[in-house]
Amino acid sequence: MSTSPEAPRSYAESLRLFARASRVIPGGIYGHTSPALTVPGKFPNFATHAEGGRYWDADGNEFLDFMCGYGPIVLGYNHPEVEAAAEKQRRDGDCFNHPTEATVLLAERLAALTGLGWAVFGKNGSDMTTWAVQVAREFTGRKKILRVRGGYHGSHAWCSPGHGGIIPEDREHVHVFQWNDPDTLRDLLARHRGQVAALIASPYHHPAFGDSALPAPGFWATVEELCRRDGVLLICDDVRAGFRLHLGGSHQHFEFAPDLVCFSKALGNGHAISAAVGKAELKVAASRVFLTGSFWQGAVAMRAALATLEILERDDCISRMQRIGERFTAGLRAGAEKHGLRVNCSGPPAIPFMSFAADTGWQRQRDFCAEMARRGVFLHPHHNWFLCAAHTEADIDGALAAADAAFALVAAGEK
């Protein structure tokens, strides 16, 4: 990895591909990987291959990757044992008329790890959050869903942060309260008493833009108590944080007891799989909510997930990511201070984020991340970052050396 400030990095091929994509794909690149959300022309937009904690873009630039595919890569790209398990299954077949034993093994494993009773599988987080909401409606016979303002639960109409193609009726029964503010939840529950099927929230608040917020002391206990009192089911959306904080789900890390938990991202170390796991008493209602997808029983992703869970546990990867993350955020804080800059590091160490104080319009943040990209370190200006178990202490130290130079440039720009 080059940390030279002079290192020229061309994104010419990325830009050429983006121009071609724009002609045949609406938006060119859609969703959260759109170039419009980073710094156009200063970040790579197309990848070719990856290994461990690094990837290469279409121009041949190498990056130390702190986005990890926006979360799925938890052990490192192309992990040999995960890929060997996937490859063996690929030779036997992936898509059949029936599920394979791997589906049963994975359901057993997730039920045991989470302390809940059963599991079902899909391909994306949105598949599972939407289905979990339906299960709650089926079980309670109620319509209303409560969620946290600014929280993200996927791209489906009831929760999408977008507006296109959405009609008011899609969200008529979805109401928002404020993270870490139980009074706003109490108000909503009082207003809709007897009508609320479920409350869905991520285990800590990680909005699409900016700083994360951990649960305030007692917040989850209060949420749980209020939900139980009113017969409201609690859905933990662990799609983003799952398997980076606790092997059995982030609810165990933050010590609360949801009725349903949704996973995706890290579960298959890059293989497309999602899961919803639920309490035994919801199993009959769950069996009445139609659930299917052409590829949702795919055996390769099930085998990859089984291998991922085994390695996460065997190698104590979650503690490792925590340690590496602490080294990273401590180094960022110290680096910023050295250059007289005020930063806020937020989120758990394994899913860190850093922002500059009073950075209106995210300008410093964008400059900093563009400078890091120029030095071969890939971060996103306003989406939280992700560490993986393949990152080493030396990687962190390399990233901090790049950050020192990037901080210097940001500080110089302020003078």
Ligand X SMILES: Cc1ncc(COP(=O)(O)O)c(C=O)c1O
Report the residue number, 71 or 335, with the smaller CB distance to ligand X: 71
CA Rg value for the chain: 22
Q: Are 191 and 185 in contact (CB under 8 A)?
A: no
What is the secondary structure of 181-238 as a DSSP string? -HHHHHHHHHHTTTTEEEEEE-SSB--SSS--BPPPTTHHHHHHHHHHHTT-EEEEE-
Cβ proximity to ligand X, 9 vs 244, nearer residue: 244
Shortest separation between residue 410's beta carbon and ligand X, angstroms: 28
Least Å distance between CB 31 and ligand X? 8
67 vs 111 by CB, closer to ligand X: 67
**Beta-strand pair 62-65/377-378:** parallel
Give the span between the Cα atoms of 208 and 382, in whole angstroms. 7
Residue 295 backbone phi and psi in degrees, to 5: -115, 10
> For residues 361 and 383, what is the distance between their CA atoms, to the nearest angstrom?
14
Q: Which residues pair with 205 in a beta bridge?
A: 213
Residue 335 structure tokens: 């680096």
| Token pair for 5 | 């400030």
**Residue 353 β-bridge partners:** 346
Minimum CB separation from ligand X for residue 123, in Å? 8
**H-helix or E-strand spanning residue 15:** helix 12-24
CB of 152 to ligand X, least distance (A): 5
Cβ nearer to ligand X, comparing 61 with 202: 202
Residue number with CB closer to ligand X (153 or 251)? 153
CB of 189 within 8 A of CB of 230? Answer: yes
Report helix angle 101-114 to 299-314, nearest 10: 40
Q: Measured from the CB atom, is 78 or 155 closer to ligand X?
A: 155
CB 1 to ligand X: min, Å: 27
Q: What residue ranges bind ligand X (CB under 6 A)?
A: 124-126, 129, 152-155, 202, 237, 239-240, 264
Q: How far apart are CA 66 and CA 403, in angstroms?
A: 13
Long-range pairs for 220-225: beta carbons < 8 A, 24 or more residues apart: 220/254, 220/255, 220/256, 221/256, 222/182, 223/182, 223/185, 223/199, 223/256, 224/256, 224/257
Of residues 152 and 353, the one with the C-beta less far from ligand X: 152
Outline where DSSP puts E strands in 209-311: 233-237, 260-263, 274-278
Task: Tell me the closest approach of the beta carbon of residue 59 to ligand X, in angstroms.
Answer: 27
Of all residues in the shown chain, the one whose CB is closest to ligand X is 125
Question: Which of residues 137 and 244 has its CB atom nearest to ligand X in the complex?
Answer: 244
User: 263 forms bridges with which residues in the sheet?
Assistant: 275
Task: Give me the least distance between CB of 68 and ligand X, in Å please.
Answer: 12
Cβ at position 70, least distance to ligand X in Å: 6
Residue 205 C-beta: closest distance to ligand X, Å: 10
Which CB atom, from 35 or from 72, has the smaller least distance to ligand X? Answer: 72
